[in-house]
């Protein structure tokens, strides 16, 4: 790896915990041929060790790190609709779990789903199809808001410039509010398109992970 | 006259009273106490971002800190942090972008110049393409586009040449003051040379 990569934050993990032993005991290792983020899917089993919760500006994100079979795994628990307290309870009780993780190109590992022993429902993110459906439902609303606010903004600005008395002030305020609404809706549209592209461009990897989850957790646990 | 090198101290201990703060345009900061001393650790990325440092309350750390309090309340500025819990090393560069004080380390990570040059090149090319489109659509004199091209080439050279000259100087063993400060930070935590560190280093 180039020194640039190492110095630019795109580094191989330096935890030293991932070992040959971990590979031997791993339940499954599926290499991914073409994905811009992940290079493999791993299924690991065992109790969670060395559980830590990162301090962030918004603690709701639930940025956590733990070791499983000697491999350090990162997770943002809000995506899995769970909390650090839930995982802390698993750590305290030494409950064995089966977990599906992505091995990223930079060598780090990211949690996708986890099934604690004796639990029917896995800790998993929303199925891609549900996420996509939600975005598709919200996108027309954002587009309508963008169109309406831009129209109102342009008309209000036009009137404000045409009227030469103090009455142009209310129109200027309306134009400013419309522009603010336009900016917000444009941000929403950009995020929606980005999320849709993410789902589309990584669909094979996400489907593969969903099938792996089905294999370990059962048919009814996801909807991909 | 050679500028005096800052006093960089190595501190070991556990993170206590750890808090993450957003400083908006000035990046993000972690504040914590280690070994009874209050510290500030500035980063570019927000604390919830996957590439930002992973710091938890009670983590064992080794720090390279400026041994001079910079704030009225006595907080010390962190140059680099090694988290012994997962053996990751973070070195700050973003924190020094807006300061010219003698204690400042390099503004950009070592050997990352081409990243900035690529960004500058993309920006200038976009500007030139936009200029060409405007000239073609309005039918104005192409001399203005050539003037714009000249300006862009000048800006590119102004951005690129100093970066590569400084890199060449560093590699040739004639580092600038900031580069010497960065070397001292790496030496303090036993990371080897900034141009060839002996372990993965994350620049923040």
A39 shares a domain with A116:
yes
Q: In what side-by-side order are the strands of the sheet with A49-53? A: A28-31, A38-47, A96-104, A109-116, A71-76, A63-68, A49-53
pLDDT of res. A164: 78
Hey, how many other C-beta atoms are within 10 angstroms of the C-beta on B193?
14
Using the beta-carbon criterion (under 8 Å), do B201 and A52 form an inter-chain contact? no
Structural domain that includes position A88: 3-123
Q: Are both A79 and A140 inside the same structural domain?
A: no
**How many CA within 13 A on the CB side of residue A215?**
12
Which of A121, A217, A112, A7 has its CA nearest to residue B203? A7
Is-contact B27 B97, C-beta < 8 A? Answer: no
Strand duo B202-203 + B88-91: pairing: parallel
Check whether residue A115 and residue A148 sit in a common domain.
Answer: no
Asked if residue A88 and residue A7 are part of one domain, the reply reads: yes
Asked whether residue A28 is assigned to any structural domain, the reply reads yes
Note whether A156 and A169 are within 8 A (CB).
no
Across the A:B interface, residue pairs with CB atoms under 8 Å apart total 88
B30 at interface of A, judged by CB pairs closer than 8 A:
yes
Is the Cβ pair A55, B202 closer than 8 Å? Answer: no
Nearest CA in chain A to B57: A55
Least confident residue range of A104-118, A145-159, A210-224, B30-44: A210-224
CA angle A63, A66, A70 (to 5 degrees): 150
Cβ atoms within 10 A of the Cβ of A1, count? Answer: 11
Nearest Cα neighbor of A13 from A79, A85, A106 is A106
Residues A135 and A197 in one domain: yes
A19 and A40 belong to one structural domain? yes
What are the chain A neighbours of B203 within 8 Å (beta carbons)?
Answer: 7-9
Residue A223 pLDDT grade (very low, low, confident, very high; cuts 50, 70, 90): very low
Are A56 and A155 members of one domain? no
The answer to whether residue A150 is domain-embedded is yes
Q: Do A148 and A110 share a domain, yes or no?
A: no
User: Which residue reads 């999320």 in tokens?
Assistant: A195
A169 part of a folded domain: yes
CA distance A111 to A104: 11
Whether the pLDDT of residue A3 is over 50: the answer is: no
Closest chain A residue to B82, measured at CA = A14
Which residues of chain B have a CB within 8 Å of the CB of A52? 54, 56, 59, 85
On whether both A112 and A136 belong to a single domain, the answer is no
**More reliable by pLDDT, A186 or A1:** A186
Q: Which residues contact A157 (CB under 8 A, 6 or more apart)?
A: A171, A172, A175
- Predicted confidence (pLDDT) per residue in B3-13, tens digit: 677 889 999 99
Q: Are residues A95 and A79 in the same domain?
A: yes
Q: Which pair of structure tokens corresponds to residue B70?
A: 């910079």
Instruction: Note whether ipTM > 0.85 here.
Output: no
Domain B8-110+174-203, architecture per CATH? Beta Barrel (2.40)
Contact state of A54 with B56 under an 8 Å Cβ cutoff: yes
* Beta-carbon separation of B86 and A15 below 8 A: yes
Task: Kindly determine whether residue B51 and residue A63, on different chains, have CB atoms separated by under 8 Å.
Answer: no
pLDDT at B71: 73
Provide the pLDDT for residue A24.
Answer: 53
Domain edge (last residue) among A74, A98, A123: A123
Whether residue A57 and residue B21 make contact (CB cut-off 8 A), yes or no, is yes
> Which string of DSSP letters, residue by residue, matches chain A?
--HHHHHTT----------HHHHHH-SEEEE-SS-SSEEEEEEEEEE-EEEEE---S-GGG-EEEEEETTEEEEEETTTTT--HHHHHHHHHTT-EEEEEEEEETTS-EEEEEEEETT-SS-B-PPPHHHHHHHHHHHHHHHHHHHHHHHHHHHHHHHHHHH--STTHHHHHHHHHHHHHHHHHHHHHHHHHHHHHHHHHHTHHHHHHHHHHHHHHH-GGG---
A218 located within any domain: no
Mean pLDDT for A75-103 is 92
Which residues, in sequence order, are bridge partners of residue A3? none
Return the structure tokens found at B48: 């919830």
Q: Write the pLDDT tens digit of every residue in B91-106.
A: 999 888 888 888 899 9
Whole-angstrom distance, CA of residue B105 vs CA of residue B102:
8
Summarised one tens digit per residue, pLDDT across range A124-151 is 998 888 888 888 888 889 999 999 999 9
- More reliable by pLDDT, A103 or B148: A103
**Confidence at A224, pLDDT banded by 50, 70, 90:** very low
- Last residue of some domain: A96, A123, A150? A123
Q: Least CB-CB distance to B55: which of A4, A54, A58? A: A54
- The pLDDT, as a whole number, for residue B100 is 84
CA A28 distance to own-chain centroid: 23
What is the reported pLDDT for A118? 86
> For residue range B62-91, what is the model confidence (pLDDT) as tens digits?
999 998 877 777 889 999 999 999 989 999
Mean pLDDT of chain B: 89
Parse chain B into domains and list their residue ranges: 8-110+174-203, 113-171
Check whether residue A58 and residue A88 sit in a common domain.
Answer: yes
List chain B residues with CB under 8 Å of A61.
Answer: 48
**Measured between CB atoms, which of B48, B85, B197 is closest to A58?**
B48
Nearest chain A residue to B54 by CA distance is A54
| Window 56-95 of B, Cβ < 8 Å to A | 56-57, 59, 85-89
Q: From the CA of B144, how many Å to the nearest CA of chain A? A: 31
The answer to whether A202 touches A190, Cβ cutoff 8 Å, is no
B84: CB partners within 8 A, 6+ apart? B59, B60, B61, B62
CATH assignment at residue A50:
2.40.50.140
pLDDT grade, residue A2 (50/70/90)? very low
Structural domains counted in chain A:
2
For residue B111, the chain A residues in CB contact (below 8 A) are: 2-4, 7
End-to-end CA distance of chain B: 31
Block residue for tokens 């997962």: B86
The pLDDT of residue A4:
35
If asked whether residues A37 and A138 sit together in one domain, one would say: no
Helix axes B113-138, B143-171, angle to 10 degrees: 180
Q: Which two tokens stand for residue A192?
A: 């929606």
| Mean predicted confidence (pLDDT) in A152-178 | 86
Single residue among A92, A123, A154 that ends a domain in this structure: A123
Torsion of CA B92, B83, B188, B168, to 10 degrees: -40
What average pLDDT score do residues B142-150 get? 84
- Which structure tokens are listed for A131? 């996420």
Disruptive mutation site among A49, A55, A78 for chain B (greatest number of B CBs within 10 Å): A55
Structure tokens at B141: 């004199």
- Asked if the C-beta of B204 comes within 8 angstroms of chain A's C-beta atoms, the answer is yes
Q: Which of A139, A112, A142 is nearest to A222 (CA)?
A: A112
Residues A14-65 pLDDT 10s: 444 444 455 556 788 999 988 888 999 999 999 999 999 999 887 778 899 9
């Amino acid at each position: 790896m180039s020194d640039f990569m190492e110095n630019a934050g795109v580094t191989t993990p330096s935890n030293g915990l991932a070992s040959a032993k971990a590979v031997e005991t791993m339940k499954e290792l599926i290499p991914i041929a073409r994905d811009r983020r992940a290079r493999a899917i791993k299924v690991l089993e065992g109790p969670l060790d060395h559980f830590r919760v990162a301090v962030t500006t918004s603690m709701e994100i639930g940025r956590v790190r733990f070791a499983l079979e000697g491999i350090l795994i990162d997770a943002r628990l809000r995506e899995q609709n769970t909390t650090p307290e839930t995982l802390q309870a698993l750590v305290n009780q030494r409950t064995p779990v089966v977990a599906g993780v992505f091995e990223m190109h930079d060598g780090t590992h990211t949690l996708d789903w986890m099934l604690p022993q004796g639990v029917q429902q896995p800790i998993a993110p929303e199925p891609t199809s549900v996420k996509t459906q939600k975005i598709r439902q919200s996108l027309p609303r954002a587009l309508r808001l963008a169109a309406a606010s831009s129209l109102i903004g342009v008309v209000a600005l036009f009137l404000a410039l045409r009227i030469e008395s103090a009455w142009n002030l209310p129109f200027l305020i309306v134009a400013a509010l419309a522009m603010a609404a336009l900016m917000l809706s444009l941000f929403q549209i950009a995020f929606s398109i980005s999320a849709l592209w993410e789902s589309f461009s990584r669909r094979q990897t996400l489907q593969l992970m969903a099938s792996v989850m089905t294999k370990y957790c059962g048919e009814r646990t996801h909807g991909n | 006259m050679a500028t005096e090198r800052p006093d960089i101290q190595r501190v070991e201990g556990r993170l206590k009273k750890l808090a993450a703060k957003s400083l908006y345009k000035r990046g993000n900061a972690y504040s914590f106490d280690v070994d009874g001393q209050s510290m500030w650790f500035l980063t570019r990325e927000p604390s919830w971002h996957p590439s930002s440092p992973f710091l938890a309350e009670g983590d064992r750390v080794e720090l390279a800190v400026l041994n001079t309090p910079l704030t009225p309340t006595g907080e010390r500025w962190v140059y680099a942090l090694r988290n012994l819990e997962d053996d990751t090393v973070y070195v700050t560069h973003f924190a020094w972008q807006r300061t010219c004080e003698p204690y400042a380390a390099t503004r950009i990570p070592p050997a990352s110049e081409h990243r900035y040059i690529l960004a500058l090149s993309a920006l200038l090319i976009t500007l030139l393409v936009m200029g060409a489109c405007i000239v073609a659509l309005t039918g104005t004199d192409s001399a203005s586009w050539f003037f714009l091209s000249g300006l862009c080439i000048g800006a590119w050279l102004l951005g690129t040449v100093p970066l590569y000259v400084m890199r060449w100087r560093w590699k040739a063993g004639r580092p600038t003051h900031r580069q010497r400060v960065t070397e001292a930070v790496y030496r303090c935590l036993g990371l080897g040379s900034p141009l060839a560190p002996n372990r993965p280093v994350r620049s923040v």
